Amino acid sequence: PQGADLPTHIQQILDVCSALTRRVKNLENDKAAQKLEIVKLKARVVTTAKLIIDVVTAASQVTAASATIPAAGATIPAAALTVVAAYTRRRKGVIIRDPEEELSS
């Protein structure tokens, strides 16, 4: 009687072993997917932290720039405005400007 049950018992053991092997494979796949997700989340955290630093820096610069500065009592007389046209010449549709003349205006 024990010899007759042995093949079915071995088959049950093999089935359990096969099922456990599949579970281990699935768990390993899940672990790899979770590691990838963790890496992606860490990258998002770093990116978000950089954005927060940029926003805080920009906000502090705006706050510093908008600080109230008392006005001086002296008045500055307005100077007469003169407009000087910069020398330009055209050659085949390209505008060539003289930078020295533009700086003097």
Cα 70 from chain centre: 40
Cα 18 from chain centre: 45
pLDDT digits (tens, 9 = 90+) for 74-98: 565 666 655 555 555 555 566 666 6
| Residue 1 pLDDT level (bands cut at 50, 70, 90) | very low
The whole-number average pLDDT for the span 2-18 is 86
- Up-side HSE of residue 39: CA atoms within 13 Å toward CB? 6
Task: Report which of 79, 97, 80, 99 is spatially closest to residue 88, judged by C-alpha positions.
Answer: 97
How far is 88 from 102, CA to CA, in rounded Å? 10
Percent of the chain with pLDDT over 70: 55
Higher pLDDT, 6 or 98: 6
